[in-house]
Structure 1
Amino acid sequence: MDLRIFTEPQQGATYDTLLSVAKATEDLGFGAFFRSDHYLHMGGDGLPGPTDAWITLAGLARETKRIRLGTLMTAATFRLPGVLAIQVAQVDAMSGGRVELGIGAGWFEKEHTAYGIPFPREKFGRLEEQLEIVTGLWDTPVGADFRYEGRYYSLADSPALPKPAQRPHPPILVGGLGAKRTPALAARFADEFNVPFSSVETSARQFGRVREALVEHGRKAEDLVLSNALVACVGRDDAEVSRRAAAIGREPAELKENGLAGSPAEVVDRIGRFAEVGSTRIYFQILDLHDLDHLELIASQVMPQLG
């Protein structure tokens, strides 16, 4: 089981705070540091304000050496596909080939309004075209041009540069709970499919849909990594769990039902249930970014039991 750290900086975090978490992620042996791609807080005051996902990852690319770096999920509404392809390729080169692109349609209308970003009515079609364009640009041979004519985007005589360090290109992550279009999109483009903040039963159902879509697109089930993202609240005892739950404004009982909460043994057991339905990668959503002891506890008492 690959364990990764996932942060939500729009809730209030500076780059320096994120750097501290990323360095702890690396030092403690986790596989990756991921972050959300949002510009507006969801509860609280959001101070000191948002940080940009790809600018953050560019900085971390130069200040870390081993961990993978990526987004859950980059909003397709935030960036034009050609610009996104350039940004991700550049950060991939800056990191020595450690970047992964998680991308989704975008959903939080209020943040678009707050920062003057258009919020289109049809988002899924745009996401599909973005994936076609980004992967098309990366996969075009050096010296050849890329052209694309879609409903939402058109590219002509593009040199399709720069190329990312990873070949054929950085891993693509798609996720969500859609019953048909989302699994089909994953089967066409993704290297990983992520089910966010859902039960074992929901995950099993969605993983099944994705496996069926893979077969329909001529791919094998093992071609795709299946993963879960879940809020983490781990403690050595009930008092520590309660303290960490209070710090993020949640209740221990609710977190145990919907996330990865409780003692290390309880969390290992719960992760095992996700593994039984096919998950091989877990993103621990860490909401208190100043509690680095939380990461140390997970690394020292959860990680060793999962191999």
Structure 2
Amino acid sequence: MDFRIFTEPQQGATYDDLLAVARTAEDAGFDGFFRSDHYLHMSGDGTPGPTDAWITLAGLARDTSRLRLGTLVTAATFRLPGPLAIAVAGVDQMSGGRVELGLGAGWFEAEHTAYGIDFPDVKERFDRLEEQLAVITGLWTTPQGETFSHDGSHYPIADAPGLVAPAQAGGVPIIVGGSGKRRTPALAARYAEEFNAAFDSPEVSGELFTRVRAACEDHRRDPDELTLSVAQVLCVGNDEATLRRRADAISRDVDELRSNGLAGSTDEIVDRIGRFAEVGATRFYLQVLDLSDLDHIEEFASTVLPQVS
């Protein structure tokens, strides 16, 4: 079981803010540092953002030494698959092979409107996602000296040289997640090393895991090859005053967080982690929304990690 810190920089964060969180996570013993890939805030004013996910991850690739780094998740609407494959491979080289790519169809229409990015209907977004996965994995696995082509409706590729080389053999691990009933599990079974259930209960997460494992069997893939993970907002407090202070800092209600996140005392959080583990989760993304509260990260590491790692 491993634990990764997950941030939402579009809510307002500089590179130095992210670096401070990443270094705290690395020193505290976490396994990874991930960030969302968004260009527009969802509450507040977003000051001083926005930042680009893969540019900041490139910086962190050089400014950290051990953490796994990646997105949860990059939107397929944001970038062409060829340049994205090159950028991610480059960051993987810069990190010495520590990068992972979370890729999704895109959902936040307002940020597309704000920055002039096309936002097609949901069917086309999934069509584009499927093609992007085919192109990106195809480019990463084409040997040097050979070429890659893809006869696609949205991203036709002709004779791309086999020079897009991540540091990790076989390419950067891909994360696919979501609650789609048909296409999402199928895409995870075909292309992903990890399936993520984000901000759902243990019971709903278990249903999603069952669905994606069935999709693996349909595609003649061993379901045990797929890592199952969850993302949950974090709010630790071993006394009610601390818990309420941390909930207030992210404009959330304590009781709601206890129902819909990893919130409460150390004992409460350990118990809830156990409930996710019972349905198959072996990896946890801890969404940290107050990036100034580095003590929060260290407290989880010192009180919870020894009991669950």
TM-score interval, smaller chain? over 0.9
Please give the residue correspondences for 1:6-155 in structure 2 after superposition, counting only pairs within 5 Å.
Answer: 6-121=6-121, 122-155=124-157
What is the deviation of 1:161?
Answer: 2.0
CA distance in 2, matches of 1:27, 1:37: 24
Residues 1:216 and 2:218 are matched in the alignment: yes
CA distance in 1, matches of 2:278, 2:235: 22
What is the deviation of 1:118?
Answer: 1.2
Secondary structure of the residue that 2:50 maps to in structure 1? Answer: coil
TM-score where L is the length of structure 1: 0.99
What is the deviation of 1:12?
Answer: 0.2
What is the deviation of 1:211?
Answer: 0.6
Secondary structure of the residue that 1:290 maps to in structure 2? Answer: coil
CA distance in 2, matches of 1:123, 1:67: 31
What is the deviation of 1:44?
Answer: 0.4
CA distance in 2, matches of 1:96, 1:232: 29
Identity across the alignment (%)? 67
Could you tell me which runs of 5 or more consecutive residues in structure 2 were left unpaired when the two chains were aligned: none
What is the deviation of 1:160?
Answer: 3.2
Q: Give 1:3's aligned residue.
A: 3
CA distance in 2, matches of 1:109, 1:154: 25
1:153-184 C-alpha deviation (Å, 9 max, x unpaired): 11111113220000111110000000111001
Q: Give 2:266's aligned residue.
A: 264
CA distance in 2, matches of 1:91, 1:120: 29
Instruction: Indicate which of 155, 158, 173 corresponds to 1:156.
Output: 158
Q: RMSD value over aligned CA atoms?
A: 0.6
What is the deviation of 1:151?
Answer: 1.2
CA distance in 1, matches of 2:88, 2:293: 29
Quick one: which amino acid aligns to residue 127 of structure 1?
A: L
TM-score where L is the length of structure 2: 0.98
1:5-39 C-alpha deviation (Å, 9 max, x unpaired): 00000000000000000101100000000000000
Secondary structure of the residue that 2:164 maps to in structure 1? Answer: coil
Secondary structure of the residue that 1:123 maps to in structure 2? Answer: helix
What count of residue pairs does the alignment treat as equivalent? 307
Q: Give 1:301's aligned residue.
A: 303
What is the deviation of 1:43?
Answer: 0.7
CA distance in 1, matches of 2:300, 2:221: 35
Could you tell me which runs of 5 or more consecutive residues in structure 1 were left unpaired when the two chains were aligned: none
1:39-74 C-alpha deviation (Å, 9 max, x unpaired): 000010100121100000000000000000000000
Secondary structure of the residue that 1:164 maps to in structure 2? Answer: coil
1:84-142 C-alpha deviation (Å, 9 max, x unpaired): 00000000000000000000000101101101111122100000000000000000111
Secondary structure of the residue that 2:304 maps to in structure 1? Answer: helix
